[in-house]
Each structure stands twice: as C-alpha cells, then as structure tokens.
Structure 1
Amino acid sequence: MVYSLGYRRPARISRTTSLDSLSGTEKQKSITESIHSYSSGMSLGIPEALSFDRIISGGTCPPCTTRDFMNYLKYIELAAENLQFHLWFRSYCNRFDKLPETEKALSPTWIVQHSEAATPVRGTAFDPQADAMFKGTDFANEPKVREVSKEKDPYFTPPDTPNSDVLRETGVSLDSYEATVSTRTRDAHTQRAIRAFEGAGLKWKPLTIQPYREEVTRIISIYIADGGARQLNLSSKERTKLLHALQNTTHPSAFKDVANTVEWSLRCQAHPNFIRWTICNGNRPRVVFARGLGIGGIVGGLIAAVLITLSSAGRAWRVLSLIGFFIGISTLIAAWKGMCVVLHGMHHRHLRPWELFASDDEPESFDIKSDSVESFATQDSTNSFEDEPWVAKYEKRNLIRKVFDREVWIQEPALRQIQDTIFLQAILGALVLSFIIVGIFCAVPHGGYF
C-alpha cells in the first residue's frame, strides 16, 4: 500500500526563520493548526502515524522514535535542547497537576499580563547632591553596613557563626553575615540562576516553600541563564518575562511563552526536517554513489541508443537502450530524494554513525510518564558531541566501507509506506522519460555507418 502518487516529502525548513516576527498568539495558533491538520490524514507530507505528538508519546518504531528525534536534533540540527526542555516541561506539568491543592496554592497561576506590565527595577544610582541635601534626615542614603577593614574581612571568618561581640567589632550585622555565608555555600546552579536574574535587572527572591523550587532553579541554570549547559535560543524579552514570572511562582503557566516558542520550533521546523531526513535510507556516501550509478545508467543508455542509431540495425533494436535509461533515471530520481533503490528493495537503511558504535544498553526511547525524562532533562551535561568516541572512529573508516556500511531493517510501517511511494514515483517517472527518449531515437533515420 502506498500514498497518493502526488505525494511530496516534507520541504526543508530553514532554522533562520525569525521567531521574533511571530507573537505569542500566532505561535499558539500555528501549534493548534499543526495538531488539527493531521486529522485529514496528511500534513506537509507527514502522515498522521508520524505526527509530532505520536513520536513524542512513544507511538512509533525505529527509526522514528523519540530517541531518534533527539539524536537528529543533537547531531544534525544542533538543537537538542529544545526537545529536552519540551520533554521536561510536559513531565513537569503532569507532576504539578498531581500535587495536593495545598501545595498548588503556594504557586498560583501566572497571568501573562503581569509579566508584560512588569518593569524590572535596577539599582538606583548614587546622587551626591541629593545625599548632601537629605544628610541628617530620615531620608539620608546611608549604608546599613559600615566598611570593613581588610584585617577583619568577614569573608575570611570561619563558617561557624561568630558571637555578637565579634560582629560588633567588625561592624557587620548578623543578617549580613548570614547572607554572605549563604551566598558562598550555594551550589553552582543557584549561583548561575542568581546571575541570570541580576542580568535581567531582577532580584533573587524566590519562595523556597513553593513546590519544585529547587528543580526550577536547575532549569533556569541549565536552559535560561547565559552560559547554561543547554541554553535555549530565547530573545532578551522572553528571558526577562520568564525570570520575572519565576520570581513569583513555580506554576507551569510561568513557562507558557517560552514553552510555546520551543514547541513551535519543534513542530513547525525540527519535526518536518526530521521526517525528511529519516526518509533517506542511506548515508551520504551511499546516496552519492547511487547518484553516480544513475548517471552512469543514463550515459550507458545514451551510448547504446546512439550506436544503434548510427548502425544499420533495425529500429526495433533501439528499444534495448530503454533498459539503461530506465535503470539510470529511476535510480537517479530515488537518489535525488535521498533513497538507494537497492536498500529499499530489502526495506533496509544504513546505521547512523553514532549508532554504529552505540552500546546495547542505551534506552531506545523516553517514557513521558516515567522519571527518566526528568532526570535526563535536568542533567548538567552539554549537547556537544565532538569528544564522543564514535566521531574519531567514523572518520577513520574508508570511503568504500562507508558506502557499504552496516544495514538494519526499517521497523516503522509508515516510513516504509512513504519510501514505497517515492520508489513507485521514481519507477513511473523513469518509464515516461525513458519512452520519450527512446521514441526520439526511434524517429531518427538509419545511419548505416556500420
């Protein structure tokens, strides 16, 4: 069974498309249209069986699983952080909904208007004239903590809280001392989150009693803060609005704008590109090799047709050149769409370079209902792969070995159906073009040269 003969694989969508030109309402509308468009059976060359939600929910087989999608984003698109954050956010929403109402009340729903109306308050500059005017009054701008001499620097005191006499001698209040020690003992994630808030002109004042506050702090450090291990590609406005919301609540609604941006990028850009890339059943050396064979078949058919035409053989013999034209054109059409007809005949595909040297105990996909999503998404590891062992090993493989690399059966039925459709299109297109070319040669008079 194949799809319509007019089927076209998903078009390549450039990642240079600006998200800033779309408002939050337009992004949400695009997401909704993307979800409902699969009800007709096909959307942008993607069948319902390979829809974004079907892949994320684990309803597909290799090579179209969530793990395959993640590998594509990591090694090809270089944007795995979007899917990692999206998986975490879906898991976070599910876990937050299961909390008792008493805990949910600690993190109220965040209204978008609050974020848009809020203006970050930065530190006020010191004005000497104003300070002199209000000197001696209750409005004087006097520091609460006096300057500390280097000999009695509180940063060099032991971690144990000193008595009040020692603090009195140094001129440091107990609150100031405890804040200093607390800052020094915070972990790296908290420190990075603090710098993110300060960079956006906000103060670090989250309520620690709110549910999942520590986890949200890690998410800010990994995905939101500048220099994070998996920093999202967000605008300054989006980042500031998100941080302001997370100042007040850990409710999933605080992530609404950023979650929509990430989901829009996944649904409308990454997902169509992933399906287009997955349709290719051979690696690049194999596809280039197949294109060469296709061109060689066409050249062979052309040579045969010219020689027979110039000879004294009958016109019927010129039909033999149809074989070369048919094989060459069909192979070239399929290879132009990234497919090798030899691999397709067995419904095989080449293993990806990172799959050739992968361990057997690596999980095949993510379960959105399990804790594996949370633990994976909150890891502090980067998405860089230049140091992974397979990179050097694959570069050492010679070209011939890459062309005839290891193969594996394609398990996803919908993907095999797409490839069958493309193969049939290549066959029909080759037949039509071959008959036209051979017909032209048959109309040429005898050469009679030999």
Structure 2
Amino acid sequence: MVYNITYRRPSFVPSSRDSLSGNEKRGSIDGSVTSGSSGMSHGIPDALSFDRIIAGGVCPPCTVRDFMNYLKYIELSAENLQFFLWYRDYVKRFNETPAKEQALAPEWTEVQSEAEAQTQGRSKNMNSDAVAILNGTDFAGGPKVTEGEKVNPFYTPPRTPSEGRQEALSSDESTYESTVSEGKTDHAKRAEGAFQDANLKWKPLSIQPYREEITRIISIYIADGGSRQLNLSSRERASLLHALQNTTHPSAFREVITTVEWSLRCQAHPNFIRWTICNGNRPRVIFARGLGIGGIVGGLVAAILITLSSAGRGWRVLSFIGFMIGISTLIAAWKGMCVVLHGMHHRHLRPWELFASDDEPEGVDMKSDSIESLASANSSNSWENEPWVAKYEKRNLIRKVFDREVWVQEPALRQIQDTIFLQAILGAFVISAVSVGIFCAFPKGNFF
C-alpha cells in the first residue's frame, strides 16, 4: 500500500523562529495540530505526527529516542526536546500537587507577561542620550564608569549588611538566605548569576513547590553557560527569570515553551521525518547515485552503438533496461534512498547505533531518561568525544557503504518509502521510453 502518487516528502525547514512573534508561533502550533489530525500535513502522515511520536505510538526508526538522537547528532538542538519533555512532566506533577501548596505559587498571567515584555523593551531601547541626561542624578545609580562604558540607568546598588539587617524579612526568606549563604550548590550559584545578569534580585520564595527543581532548571537551561542552554533571546530570558523570581507555576514558562514547541513541531519534526526517510548512510547514497549514473551511461552507450550498427530498430529497445535501472536508481538516491535496501525494507544503522553498548537496554523511554538526567548539570549534549566517533572514522569507505542493516519497523515510514520507490519507477519508465523512442527514430548507421 502506498500514498498518493503525487506525494512529496517534507521540505527542509530552516530555523527562522526569531522572525515570528509569540502569537504567530502559537498560531503555527495550533495549525500544525489541526492539520496533523486530518490525515496528512506537509508530507507527514498522521501516523508520524509530532504528538504521536511524543506519546510513544510509533516504531523505530521514528521513536522519541530516534528523534532525540537526530536532534543531538544532526541538528545539534537536543536541549529543546529535553526541556519540552521535562515541562510536560512538570505540568503533570504540579497539577497533582495539593491545592494548599499550589496556592503558594500563583499563576503568572499573560497580562504580567506582556507588562514584563514592555518593560524589557523600554529598557533595551534606552540610548546613550538618555543615559547622559540621567547621569549625575538619583536615577543614574550604579558605580561610576569611564567614558564609553555602557551604563545602566536603572541599576540598583546592592544593600550593605547594615541595610540588609534593617529590612524586614519573612521567616521563610531569612531561612532561605541563610541556607544559601552557608553553602551554595553549583546550580544555585549558576542560577544566581543568571538573575544578576538580568539585573534581578536573587531571593525567590523557598516555600513554593518545586523551587529547588526550578533552580536546577535555571542553571541547566536558562543561565549562560548552562550544560543545555536554550537558544533564547535576551528579552525572553529576562522575562522568564522575572516570572520565576515570583512563582514556580508552570505558566511562568508560557512564552519560552511556546518558542521551544514551535521549534520542535514546525521545524525539527518535519526535518526529522525527511531525514528518516533516507534508508542509507551518506557513502551508500553517493554510491547509489554513482550506480544510477553508470546505468544511464550504459544505456546511452548501448543505444548509440546499436543505432550506428546495421541491427534493426527493435534491438535498440535493449537500451531501455540500462536507462530504466539507472534513472530509477538515481531518482531514489536523489531522495536519499537506496533501492537495494528498500527492496528488503532495510536501513543502515546510524553511526551512534553501530557501536552502542551491548548492555544498554533497548526501547528505554526517552522521556524518563531526560527527566532523570536533569539531576546532573554536567550532562551536556556534546558528543564529539563519544567513543563511537573515533571508531566510525577509522572504518574504511567500502565498509561504510556496506554497513550493518536492520529492518524498518514503522509501517507508515515503509509506506512513504514505497511511494517514493513507485514514483522513481514511473518517472524512470517515462524518461526511458522517451529516450528509446528518440533513438528508434534515427535510421540505421550501417557502420559495422
């Protein structure tokens, strides 16, 4: 069974999220969900939709683990999926928290988010003339700087110890402050640095639920130099930190999770499906293209020799075989497929799969993996030093072309590949028939 013969695989989607507003991103996400539930969206069948993959309703090579590996090794943006999976789990756990604890972390409304965005916009648009006007007044604040150095007119100098003692603190805030001063963890230090970079005061309410976990998330995903730092604009980062300074409610992540989900759903997911359709590694695909060109050249040579000979026109049809094999192989290879591998519904193992540890359990839920690994700030997405990299580079070219193969388990992916293969056969048949017809129109050469 195949899809419509006019099927086209997903187009490559470049990363261009910075050009869209929050409402445009949300509209794109909603449109993706609606079109995805209607059967086929931009070359992606419903069986391979983003939501179905995240829910674990697909087979290899289209699982969440495969998606994560693609983002890590190909797109180099695995932190988006890791953060998205964490957030989904966090929302679930927060909603299961007793109402008495939830009340300690009020919802961060859209009105507050918009007000924060306007504040950040005004702060960002402050020019040097305004700084010069305010310089020397009570509004200038901050330490004195030399000429040419950037000045923040809204800088609030830190309080002295005596001022701090005079300030009335709640019992919870005092406890939190003393705990931090006694010995800060690496996560707390990095989170404090992120708040300081955003000119915010680092003293969140520790009685709010999941405050320690939120501190860890800030350290890993939000702070500069975090092991899985998200690609956020300075405005998005400052707005998020301001929200997290006041609450641990999931709504504080509203703007950031919209950006992350848009990147995953509208950019990474189509590219992942397009990449997964390819059943061979790059050396094998290049080898297949070479075979296709060789078949076309063989058919062309045969047609020319028979035309120049004294053989009848009927013999020129033999060149159809070379044209047919060469053109169909070339069309399929141009779309990343090897017809030989497809004939067995096989695919090459990816380089990181070839050297996987034998004691590594298969079929592990990637959602659980990513959540549990959040406990370590040193668990980054860098893979350049992984053992398989050096081992794969040492493999000779011939071995790469004929690497280990596995069966394609996902039925929807096999249907897409069947459709592309049929398109290649039909296209090759038409082009080959026209080519042979052209040669048959010439008279015999009678040269030999």
> Which deviations, in whole Å up to 9, do the C-alpha atoms of 1:335-354 show, x marking residues without a partner?
00000000000000000000
1:184 and 1:6 map into 2 onto residues whose CA distance is: 67
Across the aligned residues of Structure 1 and Structure 2, the Cα RMSD in angstroms comes to: 2.2
Cα distance 1:308–1:143, how it changes in 2: closer, same or farther (>3 A)?
closer
Structure-1 separation of matches of 2:356 and 2:405: 14
Query: Aligned-pair distance for 1:14?
Result: 1.3
1:434 aligned residue: 432
TM-aligned CA deviation for residue 379 of structure 1: 3.5
What is aligned with 1:390? 388
Deviation at 1:373, TM superposition (A): 4.2
Q: Distance in 2 between matches of 1:406 and 1:335?
A: 19
What amino acid sits opposite 1:428 in the alignment?
Answer: L
Q: Distance in 2 between matches of 1:214 and 1:85?
A: 16
TM-score, normalization by structure 1: 0.86
Determine whether 1:364 maps to 2:363: yes
Match in the other structure for 1:354: 352
1:190-209: CA deviation from partner (whole Å, max 9, x where unpaired)? 00000100100100121111
Q: Which amino acid aligns with 1:124?
A: G
- Which residue in 1 is equivalent to 2:142? 125
Cα distance per residue 1:279-320 (max 9 Å; x no partner)? 000000000000000000000000000000000000000000
Q: Secondary structure at the match of 2:268?
A: helix
Shift of 1:113: 2.0
- 1:416 aligns with 414
Q: Does the 8 Å CA contact 1:281/1:348 hold for their aligned counterparts?
A: yes
- Report the equivalent of 2:155: none
Partner SS for 1:289: helix
Note if contact 1:85-1:377 (Cα within 8 Å) is conserved in structure 2: no
- Specify the alignment match of 1:35 in structure 2: 33
Equivalence for 2:220: 222
Do the aligned partners of 2:307 and 2:439 also contact (CA within 8 Å) in 1? yes
Q: Out of 45, 48, 68, which is 1:47 matched to?
A: 45
Who is 2:85 aligned against? 87
Find the residue that maps to 1:40 and give its secondary structure.
coil
Question: Any stretches of 5+ residues in structure 2 without a counterpart?
Answer: 124-138, 145-157, 164-172
Q: Work out whether residues 65 and 366 of structure 2, in 8 Å CA contact, stay in contact via their aligned partners in 1.
A: no
Change (3 A) 1:143 1:390: closer
Deviation at 1:26, TM superposition (A): 1.0
3-state SS, counterpart of residue 349 of structure 1: strand
- Give the equivalent residue in structure 2 for 1:13: 13
Q: How does 1:262-281 map to 2 (within 5 A)?
A: 262-281=260-279
Confirm or deny: 8 A CA contact 1:319 1:438 kept in the other structure.
Answer: yes
Aligned-residue offset at 1:20: 2.7
Residue 54 of structure 1 aligns to a residue whose secondary structure is helix
The answer as to 2:114 corresponding to 1:97 is no
Contact 1:88 1:374 in 2 (8 A): yes
Cα deviation for residue 126 of structure 1 reads 6.2
CA distance in 2, matches of 1:270, 1:143: 49
Same amino acid, percent of matched pairs? 70
Q: Which residue type is aligned with residue 357 of structure 2? A: S
Tell me the CA shift for residue 13 of structure 1. 1.0
The aligned residue for residue 72 of structure 1 is 70
Moved over 6 A (4+): 120-123
Superposed counterparts of 1:1-400, under 5 Å:
1-15=1-15, 17=16, 19-118=17-116, 119=119, 124-125=141-142, 143-145=160-162, 182-183=180-181, 185-360=183-358, 361-366=360-365, 368=367, 371-380=368-377, 381-400=379-398
Larger displacement relative to structure 2 (81-90 or 354-363): 354-363
**Does structure 2 retain, via aligned residues, the 8 Å contact 1:286–1:402?**
yes
Matched residue pairs, number? 405
Asked if the contact 1:65/1:364 (under 8 Å) is kept, the reply is: no
- Distance change in 2, residues 1:11/1:143 (3 Å): closer
When Rg is computed on C-alpha atoms for both structures, the one with the higher figure is: 1
| Other structure's SS at 2:347 match | strand
**AA in 1 matched with 2:63:** T
CA–CA separation in structure 1 for the residues paired with 2:182 and 2:396: 53
The 1-side partners of 2:260 and 2:74 are apart by 18
Deviation, 1:180, is: 7.7
Q: Which amino acid aligns with 2:109?
A: I
Partner of 1:133: none
Q: Which residue of 1 aligns with 2:132?
A: none
Partner of 2:213, secondary structure, is helix
- Aligned partners of 1:65 and 1:365 also within 8 Å: no
Q: Is the 8 A contact 2:64 2:366 kept in 1?
A: no
Which AA in structure 2 matches 1:125?
G
* Conserved? CA contact 2:177–2:203, under 8 Å: no
After superposition, the C-alpha distances for 1:52-82 in whole angstroms (9 at most, x for unaligned) are 0000110000000000000000000000000
